[in-house]
Amino acid sequence: MKKLTILLALFIVGFSVQAQKPVKEKNLLGEWKLIIDVDEDEIMDEIEEDEDIPFFGEWIAETVIGLAFNIIDDLDIYFTFKEDGKLKVVVEIFGEREVEYSEWYINKDGELVLGETDAFDSDDDIWLMEGDRLVAYEEDWKGRREREREVYMIKVD
C-alpha cells in the first residue's frame, strides 16, 4: 500500500509539472481574451458560513460582491501580443471601449511578464501556458509561484 501511495504521489507531482509549459513567442503572438472565472455562489456561501460576520456586514458584503459580478459580466479585456514585445490591450465595458499600449517579455524561465520596460525588474506576476491557456501566477511571500485559478487567457484568433 505504501508503494502505491508513493507512486500515486509521484504521478500527481509529475502531471502537475508537465501541465505548466514555458511560454514561447510563436504560440503567444495574436489576440487573447482575459477570462475571470470566479464562482459567485461559492463566495456568497463562504460569507454566509462565516460566523464572525454580523448580519449587517454580511448584507453589505453580498451587495458589494453582487455589484462586482455585474461589472465582471460586462467586462471584456483583449490582449494582442505583437512582435518585439509590443502589447495592445482593449478594454470594453458598458458599451465603452478603451485601448492601451504596453509591453511584454518572456523571462529566462519561460514565464510571460506583462508591463512597461522599467517594471521588468519585478516579475512577481507571471503567466504560464497550461494546455491552450495562459494562466496567471503570483509570487507568495515565500517566493513560491501560486496559480491564480480564476484568471486566465484564451486565444481568440
* Cβ contacts of 93 within 8 Å, gap of 6 or more: 71, 74, 75, 76
What pTM was computed for the model? 0.70
Lowest mean pLDDT across 3-7, 34-38, 79-83, 149-153: 3-7
CATH, domain 31-155, list 3.40.50, 2.40.128, 1.10.10, 2.60.40:
2.40.128
How many other C-beta atoms can be found within 10 angstroms of the C-beta atom of residue 126? 20
Rounded to 5 degrees, what angle do the CA atoms 83, 119, 147 make? 85
Q: What are the pLDDT digits (tens) for 53-62?
A: 776 677 787 7
Distance CA 42, CA 9 (A): 28
CB 152 within 8 A of CB 134: yes
CB 65 within 8 A of CB 40: yes
For position 122, what pLDDT does the model report? 54
Query: Is 50 exceeded by the pLDDT of residue 25?
Result: yes
Q: What are the pLDDT digits (tens) for 70-125?
A: 788 889 999 999 999 999 999 999 999 999 999 999 999 899 999 865 544 555 68
> Domain residues of the chain, as ranges?
31-155
